[in-house]
Amino acid sequence: MTREFHEQAAGADQIASTRKVIAVHINYPSRASQRGRTPQQPSYFLKPPSSLALGSIEAPGSVERPLGCELLGFEGEIALIIGKPARRVALKAAWSHVAWVTASNDLGVYDLRYADKGSNLRSKGGDGFTPVGPQLIPAGAVDPTALRVRTWHNGELVQDDTTEDLLFPFAQLVADLSQLLTLEEGDIILTGTPAGASVAQPGDVVDIEVTTGTYSSGRLSTRVVEGTTPFAEFGAQPKADDAQREEAFGSRESAGLEPPTQALSPELRKKLESVATATLSSQLRKRGLNNVSIDGLQATRPDRRVVGLARTLRYVPNREDLFKAHGGGFNAQKRAIDSVNDGEILVMEARGEKGTGTVGDILAMRAQVRGAAAIITDGGVRDHSAVADLDMPTYFANAHPAVLGRRHIPWDTDITIACGGATVQPGDIIVADSDGILVIPPAIAGELVDDCIQQEKEETFIVEMVKQGNSVDGLYPMNTGWKAKYQEWVAAEDPAAKSEPAEVKKSE
């Protein structure tokens, strides 16, 4: 049997009958691993039918990267086309409601993500942002768990995955959506993209193909062109930052970004982990820094010693009209959680307000998955028992069941804040243990910790002398005589053998 009998070309009448385009956020394990989060249930967003563009076998279609935008992301996907209405269908019957399978490119501009409050309307809904086709594969003739999707960027294979181990099988997507809304004939479900999605520039060509056995969707080919019409001033303007570049390209390296600044080298981190906050506090005080402790908090993991660089988030008092504009969607709280990097500590300014939560179990889990060393808030924590069960420590004022909207608006990130009576700047070094939480200016951290190591060595000597029955008078702090004895003790030490300090006669 030849391909012509296997498939039929997608036509304009097919697009004309589509009333809904529904896209799944994350469905491939490879993409979940890349994003650092694995959803427990499928989640969706809508793309308007006007975003559809029909693929052609003869020549590439085109899509416009809007003027002023930098990050036009492409995502190779398998599209399901509904053949008969589905409403509250069972899993076993769900696949029978799918008529066709084909290729799709879920295009979007990350430059407008910030303005969508999570809807993806502007970032993903532009004209031509959903090419489909060019051939339709009959769904009834294929195994939905044996499909393969591949994407080529300027001829280089960048995505290659199968549907064998999807997080949410296609039948589940159909059945799940049908529980609440009617899937109508011609509706399209975009089923997620595997790892490897990236950014296309004007002049680039992206090709996507879906295959299974002898069936193929054909190459869905799209060429990117540069837009010429600027956005009107009365609407959202394109805005890109390094966080969005990393998301769009898949990694900092792929985006051409420098690795995060190593203000906290592995060697410095190891030294800071070896000394107590009590010692650090003493050395900070010697340098005139008396207001660098975050006070009044309790810890979910008081047994842990935590060292990391500060990332900051500020809440302001709730005002209902402002909460509507700043509290919903991908707000500052979610942006802060979703951009914290490995080993960093998210510090929140909640003004000591204890009457509501500032973080709960889901966002705390997201921070842990991102590699955060800890969360510190001078406000409340929701879902306390679940947060306490995480390996990542959370420092907080109290437990409280209310959501943050009761008292707070998440306002801004990566700015100078106040937390627990201390000023914290992005990039400050945070050290926390059972004695407390300290904020260390990174410029003095190296010298500071070396002095702390020296101080603790001296204190080890002093403790040993007290154990041997010596009075603390003249020993703590050491006078000239005890300092000389200390130098003798240091010289007598055998670091390789880790021998006990030599016995020193009691002072008169």
- Collapsing DSSP to helix, strand or coil, 456 comes out as helix
What is each CA distance from 343 to 307, 340, 371, 394, 423, in whole angstroms?
8, 9, 6, 14, 20
**Predicted pLDDT of residue 504:** 46
Residue 496 carries which DSSP code? Answer: T
Provide the pairing of β-strand 198-200 with 72-74. Answer: antiparallel
SS (H, E, C) 144-168: CCCCEEEEEECCEEEEEEECCCCCC
What is the rounded distance in angstroms from the CA atom of residue 364 to the CA atom of residue 384? 10
Which of 452, 408, 465, 54 lies closest to 222, judged by CA?
Answer: 54
- In the numeric block, which tokens belong to residue 268? 């410095």
Which element (helix H / strand E) includes 441?
A: none
Report angle CA 350, 366, 411 to the nearest 5 degrees. 30
What is the rounded distance in angstroms from the CA atom of residue 404 to the CA atom of residue 360? 10
What is each CA distance from 369 to 246, 386, 484, in whole angstroms?
17, 15, 51
SS (H, E, C) 18-77: CCCEEEECCCCHHHHHHHCCCCCCCCEEEECHHHEEECCCCCCEEEEECCCCCCEEECEE
Q: Report if pTM > 0.85.
A: no
What is the rounded distance in angstroms from the CA atom of residue 441 to the CA atom of residue 431? 11
- In the numeric block, which tokens belong to residue 413? 């990130």
Decide: 102 and 216 in contact? Cβ < 8 Å.
Answer: no
Decide: 280 and 305 in contact? Cβ < 8 Å.
Answer: no
Decide: 68 and 173 in contact? Cβ < 8 Å.
Answer: no
H-assigned helices in 342-478: 361-370, 384-388, 445-467
Neighbours of 40 (CB within 10 A): 7
Decide: 109 and 238 in contact? Cβ < 8 Å.
Answer: yes
What is the rounded distance in angstroms from the CA atom of residue 71 to the CA atom of residue 213? 35
**Predicted pLDDT of residue 12:** 62
**Predicted pLDDT of residue 378:** 97
Q: What is the pLDDT along the chain (508 residues), one digit of tens a residue?
A: 233 334 556 556 666 789 999 999 999 998 888 777 788 899 999 999 999 998 887 788 999 999 999 999 999 999 999 999 999 999 999 999 999 999 999 999 999 998 887 789 999 999 999 999 899 999 999 999 999 999 999 999 999 999 999 999 999 999 999 999 999 999 999 999 999 999 999 999 999 999 999 999 999 999 999 999 999 999 999 998 888 898 889 888 888 887 655 578 889 999 999 999 999 999 999 999 999 999 999 999 998 999 999 999 999 999 988 888 888 888 889 989 988 989 999 999 999 999 999 999 999 999 999 999 999 999 999 999 999 999 999 999 999 999 988 999 999 999 999 999 999 999 999 999 989 999 999 989 999 999 999 999 998 999 999 999 999 898 888 898 988 888 888 888 755 434 444 444 444 3
- Collapsing DSSP to helix, strand or coil, 413 comes out as strand
Neighbours of 89 (CB within 10 A): 21
Decide: 17 and 185 in contact? Cβ < 8 Å.
Answer: yes
Decide: 168 and 22 in contact? Cβ < 8 Å.
Answer: no
What is the rounded distance in angstroms from the CA atom of residue 243 to the CA atom of residue 253? 12
Decide: 102 and 79 in contact? Cβ < 8 Å.
Answer: yes
Decide: 47 and 129 in contact? Cβ < 8 Å.
Answer: yes
**Predicted pLDDT of residue 501:** 44
Which of 152, 147, 46, 50 lies closest to 102, judged by CA?
Answer: 147
| DSSP assignments along 324-363, one per residue | HHHTSSS-HHHHHHHH--TTEEEEEE-TT--SSBS--HHH
User: Strands, E, within 75-185: which ranges?
Assistant: 76-82, 98-105, 108-109, 130-138, 148-153, 156-162
User: Strands, E, within 365-505: which ranges?
Assistant: 374-377, 380-381, 394-396, 398-399, 408-413, 417-419, 422-424, 429-433, 436-440
Report angle CA 146, 147, 148 to the nearest 5 degrees. 125
- Collapsing DSSP to helix, strand or coil, 87 comes out as coil
Decide: 94 and 171 in contact? Cβ < 8 Å.
Answer: yes
Report all structural domains of the chain as residue ranges with CATH numbers, in order of start: 3-249 (3.90.850.10), 290-440 (3.50.30.40), 448-492 (no CATH)
Which residues neighbour 167 within 8 Å (Cβ) at sequence distance 6 or greater?
26, 27, 28, 29, 32, 38, 39, 42, 192
What is each CA distance from 250 to 100, 107, 111, 113, 224, in whole angstroms?
30, 15, 15, 16, 20
